[in-house]
């Protein structure tokens, strides 16, 4: 069942150099109890999409200029600010990439976790304290009674991210938006945090919108995947199927450019060129200057996200051709 | 063992300690043992990959190696010459043959210099060519790294991250060095651009017969690039072997956990991830005995008392663990 539905979302930034169309018509559905991985490179609009859902876009220079974000039968973009405050951190929570800069350095972590609980659940005093410590324990912080009195700088990056997760989950949200939750962490700590997120997801049944540039992280977490490029979604599908049979040339390229985990192998299939600037997107399909399949039509007509197969959508004029090519290669 | 002639770089028990000072008289009351007795060698035209998590001493090792930071002790022999006691002028001559590429292509290029001046600077310092010839060489270098020769008058801010890293690479190969120390050369780049740079580094190795010390925290990248891999933990090498040997048969419990923790881009993979408890300890007060023992799933009594030496577990696969 659809829990969150994003429809043709558009967010722009009015900058001195022009208008950056950071999110330019993004639609996707997050189902109940499922994890959707939103993948893309820097500047593709992943984070702006997440911030737009929670209406956290600084305005000016930002402006959400179109679309709908439907949660529980209401369009979040049209709610009053006070109603929205009730949603944020309570129904939909978010964790960010840099735990160190997301935590307030002058309050103890216990204090910061308690703030959300007090605000949304109205707990006070001993009850509040107990609930706070309970949350710290659930995210795997050793001796939580003592660590609750620590300031963020007394903790390592992995511990800080655990605190962020405790804070985000303290009011048992229906949806957790995790924006690059492990990018700033070391591999072994990343494994700890991903493991924790999986355990908590299974315990609470929450839905997760996982935003990351790392296709490996998505593969281990997500049920469904949406690939973003240049402010639009270029491909969506079930994780296993999309990784095995990508239909969009960008997804094909992205998967091909990951070094394999098997020794000093062949050359990588690099994508030429670089990520486009949101101030100056190429006309037509935004990927066409870097695309090996591009033809004249790609420079003029922007392909829309269309159904290629049940549960599989791609925004490419030649998606069927790429699918057939993939089929032939699989047979060989 | 290999003939010493095959070896371009030999590092013997290299140490770099940073003193911790405090108080009115800046009394030294301890040391950060960033690199604590590291030995390895790199063959000609070979790549040694160095992996480890943040704070394990990878970058300190890179800098101590080329004497950007003076090593505390230990021996570095480059191309048959011990570089430890060389004076500034002699060291400069050696540096023609050992270059370094840094992680951040945004802060390692002077924003006030044109690309031509940046790439031509090593040529000028080492008086390799006359001014006019220099410009031609620079154009050739830019084309070699996949930029256009017409970029000589542009400034770094006009380029994307990947292009800037290409400029850094052009500068590093300007003097036709024998060794390039690559310190996280692709960590700041997007995945699609990262693969372009990795391919470029490979091509340059083939064309110029370069050796690389390739440092990264990303195991996938290191495996792709390296002939041999060394794994560092808290200032020491805990395992070192051929790239295939180490990825197919990691011996040290830390290496095993590290390899298992790399996310695989395949949702159908059912690989077991070994989740280590705890954090990387501080190099100011490393745990006694084996530095890894507080997080180690295979800890034994002896691990708390003695540091296991790096020894051959068969076929040149070296590991520092009492299990072997």
CA distance A194 to chain B (A): 10
CA distance B22 to chain A (A): 20
Q: Is B270 an 8 Å CB contact of chain A? A: no
Minimum-distance CB partner of A219 among B163, B220, B265: B265
Q: Are B100 and B84 in contact (CB under 8 A)?
A: no
Minimum-distance CB partner of A156 among B219, B274, B279: B279
Question: Does a structural domain hold residue B21?
Answer: yes
CA distance A192 to chain B (A): 6
Nearest CA in chain A to B190: A41
Q: Name chain A contacts of B199, Cβ cutoff 8 Å.
A: 267-268, 270
Over residues B47-56, the pLDDT tens digits come to 999 999 888 8
* Residues B128, A194: Cα–Cα separation, whole Å: 52
Question: Is the pLDDT at B4 greater than 60, yes or no?
Answer: no
Strand, helix or coil at A291? coil
Residue A4: its pLDDT value, please? 94
Query: Number of residue pairs across A and B with CB atoms under 8 Å?
Result: 148
Over residues B45-94, the pLDDT tens digits come to 999 999 998 888 899 999 999 899 999 999 999 999 999 889 988 998 89
Question: Is the pLDDT at A260 greater than 80, yes or no?
Answer: no
- For the residues A315-332, what does the mean pLDDT come to? 86
Minimum-distance CB partner of A257 among B47, B194, B247: B194
**CATH code for the domain of B90:** 3.40.50.300
Q: Is A239–B267 a contact, with Cβ atoms under 8 angstroms apart?
A: yes
Nearest CA in chain A to B47: A264
Question: Does a structural domain hold residue B275?
Answer: no
Stretch (H or E) spanning A34: none
* Residues B65, B49: Cα–Cα separation, whole Å: 15
Q: Supply B249's token pair.
A: 């048969």
Question: Is the pLDDT at B5 greater than 90, yes or no?
Answer: no
Can you give the three-state secondary structure of B282-304, one letter per residue?
CCCCCCCCCCCHHHCCCCCHHHH
CA distance A12 to chain B (A): 22
Question: Is the pLDDT at A128 greater than 80, yes or no?
Answer: yes
Q: Are A98 and A163 in contact (CB under 8 A)?
A: no
Q: Is B256 an 8 Å CB contact of chain A? A: no
ipTM of the complex: 0.82
The label of the residue with tokens 């804070």 reads A167
Question: Does a structural domain hold residue B70?
Answer: yes
Over residues B259-278, the pLDDT tens digits come to 898 888 888 877 788 888 88
Question: Does a structural domain hold residue B210?
Answer: yes
| Residue B312: strand pairing partners | B318
Alpha helices for chain B (secondary structure H): 58-65, 88-95, 115-125, 131-144, 161-173, 191-208, 219-225, 243-248, 253-261
Q: Supply A322's token pair.
A: 């790429």
The CA-based angle B64-B245-B256, given to 5 degrees, is 80
Residue A105: its pLDDT value, please? 92
Q: Name chain B contacts of A272, Cβ cutoff 8 Å.
A: 196
* Residues B18, B29: Cα–Cα separation, whole Å: 11
Residue A318 pLDDT grade (very low, low, confident, very high; cuts 50, 70, 90) = very high
Minimum-distance CB partner of A274 among B193, B199, B277: B193
Q: Name chain A contacts of B274, Cβ cutoff 8 Å.
A: 191
Over residues A270-317, the pLDDT tens digits come to 888 888 888 888 999 999 999 999 999 999 999 999 999 999 999 999
* Residues A323, A244: Cα–Cα separation, whole Å: 11
Residue A278: its pLDDT value, please? 84
Minimum-distance CB partner of B243 among A41, A218, A264: A264
Minimum-distance CB partner of A262 among B190, B247, B274: B247
Over residues A160-177, the pLDDT tens digits come to 988 999 999 988 899 999
Q: Name chain A contacts of B264, Cβ cutoff 8 Å.
A: 216, 219-220, 261
> What's the mean pLDDT when you consider all of chain B?
90
Q: Nearest Cα to A180, choosing from A208, A211, A224?
A: A211
Contacting B residues, span 124-163, partner chain A, CB-CB under 8 Å: 160-163
Question: Is the pLDDT at B321 greater than 70, yes or no?
Answer: yes
Q: Is B275–A195 a contact, with Cβ atoms under 8 angstroms apart?
A: yes
Over residues A179-235, the pLDDT tens digits come to 999 888 888 888 888 999 999 999 999 999 999 999 999 998 999 999 999 999 999
| Residue B318: strand pairing partners | B240, B312
Q: Supply A241's token pair.
A: 């199927």
> What's the mean pLDDT when you consider all of chain A?
90
Question: Is the pLDDT at B147 greater than 80, yes or no?
Answer: yes
Residue B1 pLDDT grade (very low, low, confident, very high; cuts 50, 70, 90) = very low
- Is the alpha carbon torsion for A261, A262, A264, A266 positive or negative? negative
Question: Does a structural domain hold residue B195?
Answer: yes
Residue A321: its pLDDT value, please? 92
Number of structural domains chain B divides into? 1
Residue B74 sits in which domain range?
4-97+177-230
- pTM for the whole structure: 0.86
Q: Which DSSP letter does residue A278 get? A: T
Question: Does a structural domain hold residue B284?
Answer: no
Contacting B residues, span 187-216, partner chain A, CB-CB under 8 Å: 190-196, 198-199, 202
Q: Is A191–B276 a contact, with Cβ atoms under 8 angstroms apart?
A: yes
* Residues B291, B295: Cα–Cα separation, whole Å: 9
Q: Are B251 and B296 in contact (CB under 8 A)?
A: no
* Residues B47, B223: Cα–Cα separation, whole Å: 10
Question: Does a structural domain hold residue B299?
Answer: no
* Residues A124, A254: Cα–Cα separation, whole Å: 49
* Residues A329, A237: Cα–Cα separation, whole Å: 20
Question: Is the pLDDT at A263 greater than 60, yes or no?
Answer: no
Sequence-distant (6+) residues with CB within 8 A of A105 are A151, A152, A153
* Residues A274, A212: Cα–Cα separation, whole Å: 18
Q: For residue B103, how many other CB atoms are within 10 A of its CB?
A: 20
The label of the residue with tokens 């996938």 reads B220
Over residues B223-259, the pLDDT tens digits come to 999 999 999 999 999 999 998 899 889 999 999 999 8
Residue B244: its pLDDT value, please? 86
Over residues A148-160, the pLDDT tens digits come to 999 999 888 888 9
Q: Is B280–A186 a contact, with Cβ atoms under 8 angstroms apart?
A: yes
Question: Is the pLDDT at B206 greater than 90, yes or no?
Answer: yes
Residue B271: its pLDDT value, please? 78
Residue A228: its pLDDT value, please? 95
Which of B57, B166, B190 would best serve as a mutation to test chain A binding (most A beta carbons within 10 A)?
B190
Residue B149: its pLDDT value, please? 86
Exposure string of B122-151, with b = 16+ CB inside 10 Å and e = fewer, is bbeeeebeeeeebbeebbebbebbbbeeeb
Question: Does a structural domain hold residue B240?
Answer: no
Q: Is B226–A272 a contact, with Cβ atoms under 8 angstroms apart?
A: no
Q: Are A288 and A299 in contact (CB under 8 A)?
A: yes
Q: Name chain B contacts of A42, Cβ cutoff 8 Å.
A: 190
Question: Helix B161-173 vs helix B191-208: angle between axes, to the nearest 10 degrees?
Answer: 10
Residue A184: its pLDDT value, please? 81
Residue A55 pLDDT grade (very low, low, confident, very high; cuts 50, 70, 90) = very high
């Amino acid at each position: 069942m659809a829990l969150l539905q994003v429809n043709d979302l558009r967010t722009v930034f009015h900058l001195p150099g022009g208008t950056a169309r950071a999110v330019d018509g993004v639609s996707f559905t997050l189902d109940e109890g499922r994890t959707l991985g939103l993948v893309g490179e820097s500047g593709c609009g992943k984070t702006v999409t997440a911030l737009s859902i929670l209406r956290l876009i600084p305005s000016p220079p930002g402006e959400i200029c179109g679309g709908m974000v439907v949660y529980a039968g209401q369009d979040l973009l049209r709610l009053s600010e006070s109603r929205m405050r009730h949603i944020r951190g309570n129904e939909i929570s978010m964790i960010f990439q840099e735990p160190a800069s997301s935590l307030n350095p002058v309050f103890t972590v216990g204090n910061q976790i308690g703030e959300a609980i007090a605000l949304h659940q109205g707990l006070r005093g001993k009850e509040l304290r107990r609930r706070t410590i309970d949350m710290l324990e659930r995210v795997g912080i050793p001796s939580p009674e003592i660590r609750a009195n620590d300031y963020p700088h007394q903790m390592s990056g992995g511990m800080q991210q655990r605190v962020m997760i405790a804070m985000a989950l303290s009011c048992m949200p229906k949806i957790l938006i995790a924006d690059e939750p492990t990018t700033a962490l070391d591999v072994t700590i990343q494994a700890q945090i991903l493991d924790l997120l999986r355990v908590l997801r299974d315990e609470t049944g929450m839905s997760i919108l996982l935003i990351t540039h790392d296709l490996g992280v998505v593969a281990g977490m997500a049920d469904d995947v949406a690939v973003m490029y240049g402010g639009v979604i270029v491909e969506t599908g079930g994780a296993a199927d999309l990784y095995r049979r990508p239909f969009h040339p960008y997804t094909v390229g992205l998967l091909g450019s990951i070094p394999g985990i098997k020794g000093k192998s062949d050359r990588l299939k690099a994508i030429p060129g670089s990520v486009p600037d949101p101030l100056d997107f190429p006309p037509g399909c935004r990927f066409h200057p870097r695309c090996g399949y591009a033809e004249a039509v790609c420079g003029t007509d922007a392909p829309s996200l269309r159904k290629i197969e049940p549960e599989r959508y791609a925004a490419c004029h030649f998606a069927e051709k790429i699918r057939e090519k993939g089929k032939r290669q699989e047979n060989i | 063992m290999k003939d010493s002639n095959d070896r371009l770089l030999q590092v013997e028990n290299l140490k770099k300690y940073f003193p911790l000072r405090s108080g009115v008289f800046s009394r030294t009351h301890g040391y950060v043992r960033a690199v604590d007795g590291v030995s390895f060698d790199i063959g000609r035209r070979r790549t040694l990959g160095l992996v480890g998590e943040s704070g394990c001493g990878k970058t300190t090792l890179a800098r101590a190696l080329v004497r950007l930071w003076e090593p505390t002790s230990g021996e570095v022999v480059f191309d048959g010459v011990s570089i430890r006691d060389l004076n500034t002028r002699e060291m400069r001559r050696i540096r023609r043959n050992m270059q370094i590429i840094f992680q951040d292509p945004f802060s390692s290029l002077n924003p006030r210099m044109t690309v031509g001046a940046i790439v031509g600077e090593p040529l000028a310092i080492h008086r390799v060519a006359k001014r006019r010839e220099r410009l031609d060489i620079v154009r050739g270098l830019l084309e070699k790294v996949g930029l256009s020769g017409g970029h000589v008058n542009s400034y770094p801010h006009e380029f994307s991250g990947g292009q800037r890293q290409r400029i850094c690479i052009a500068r590093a190969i300007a003097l036709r060095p024998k060794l390039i120390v690559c310190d996280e050369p692709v960590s700041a780049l997007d995945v699609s651009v990262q693969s372009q740079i990795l391919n470029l580094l490979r091509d340059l190795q083939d064309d110029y017969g370069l050796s690389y010390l390739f440092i990264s925290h990303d195991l996938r990248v290191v495996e792709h690039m390296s002939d041999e891999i060394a794994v560092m933990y808290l200032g020491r090498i805990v395992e070192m072997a051929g790239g295939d040997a180490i990825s197919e048969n990691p011996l040290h419990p830390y290496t095993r956990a590290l390899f298992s923790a790399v996310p695989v881009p395949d949702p159908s993979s059912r690989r077991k991830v070994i989740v280590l408890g705890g954090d990387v300890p501080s190099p100011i007060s490393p745990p006694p005995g084996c530095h890894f023992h507080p997080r180690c799933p295979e800890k034994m009594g002896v691990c708390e008392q003695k540091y296991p030496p790096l020894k051959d577990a068969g076929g040149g696969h070296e590991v520092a663990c009492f299990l072997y």
